[in-house]
A and B are shown apart, each in its own frame.
Chain A
Amino acid sequence: MAQPMRIRAKLKGDEVEAKILVQHPMETGLRKNVDGEKIPAHFIKTLVVKYEDKVVLESVLGIAVSKDPFISFSFKGGAKDGKLSVTWTDNLGETRTDTVTVD
Chain B
Amino acid sequence: MIRQMTKSKEATLNLDLGKRDFLRLSAMFGMAAIVGFYGVGEVRAAEWRDVDFNAKNLKDTLKSLGVDDYTMSTDITVDSAEIAENGAVVPVSVSSAIPNTEYMAILVEKNPNPLATAFTIPTGTLASVKTRIKMGETSNVLALAKVNGKWFAASKEIKVTLGGCGG
Q: Write the residues of chain A forming the contact surface with B, with a CB cutoff of 8 angstroms.
A: 15, 28, 30-31, 45-46, 48, 54-67, 69-77
Q: Is the CB of B53 within 8 A of A71?
A: no
By a CB distance below 8 angstroms, the chain A residues around B119 are 57-59, 73
Give the distance in Å from the alpha carbon of A53 to the alpha carbon of B165 in the complex: 37
By a CB distance below 8 angstroms, the chain A residues around B131 are 65, 69-72
Instruction: Give B86-110 interface residues, CB cut-off 8 Å to A.
Output: 88-91, 108
Q: Is the CB of B167 within 8 A of A66?
A: no
The 0/1 profile, CB within 8 Å of A marked 1, for residues 121-146 of chain B is 11011101111111100000000000
| Chain B min CB distance to A46 (Å) | 6
By a CB distance below 8 angstroms, the chain B residues around A66 are 88-90, 132-134, 164
Q: Is the CB of A64 within 8 A of B126?
A: no
| Chain A min CB distance to B126 (Å) | 5
Q: Is the CB of A62 within 8 A of B45?
A: no
Q: Is the CB of B122 within 8 A of A55?
A: yes
Contact of B115 with A by CB under 8 A:
yes
Q: Is the CB of B130 within 8 A of A73?
A: yes
| Chain B min CB distance to A56 (Å) | 5
9 chain-A/chain-B pairs, Cβ below 8 angstroms: A56-B124, A57-B125, A61-B116, A63-B53, A63-B113, A66-B164, A67-B89, A73-B125, A76-B125
By a CB distance below 8 angstroms, the chain B residues around A74 are 125-126, 128
By a CB distance below 8 angstroms, the chain A residues around B122 are 54-58
Q: Is the CB of A69 within 8 A of B132?
A: yes
Knowing A55-B122, A59-B117, A66-B89 touch, does A71 contact B129 (C-beta < 8 A)? Answer: yes
Give the distance in Å from the alpha carbon of A31 to the alpha carbon of B167 in the complex: 7
Q: Is the CB of B111 within 8 A of A73?
A: no
Q: Is the CB of A64 within 8 A of B121?
A: no
Q: Is the CB of B132 within 8 A of A58?
A: no
Q: Is the CB of A15 within 8 A of B126?
A: yes
Give the distance in Å from the alpha carbon of A12 to the alpha carbon of B128 in the complex: 15
Q: Is the CB of B115 within 8 A of A75?
A: no
- Contacting A73 at CB < 8 Å: which of B116, B126, B166? B126
Q: Is the CB of A60 within 8 A of B133?
A: no
Q: Is the CB of A64 within 8 A of B116?
A: yes
By a CB distance below 8 angstroms, the chain A residues around B89 are 66-67
Closest to A55 in B: B122
Q: Is the CB of B128 within 8 A of A73?
A: yes
- Contacting B133 at CB < 8 Å: which of A31, A64, A75, A77? A64
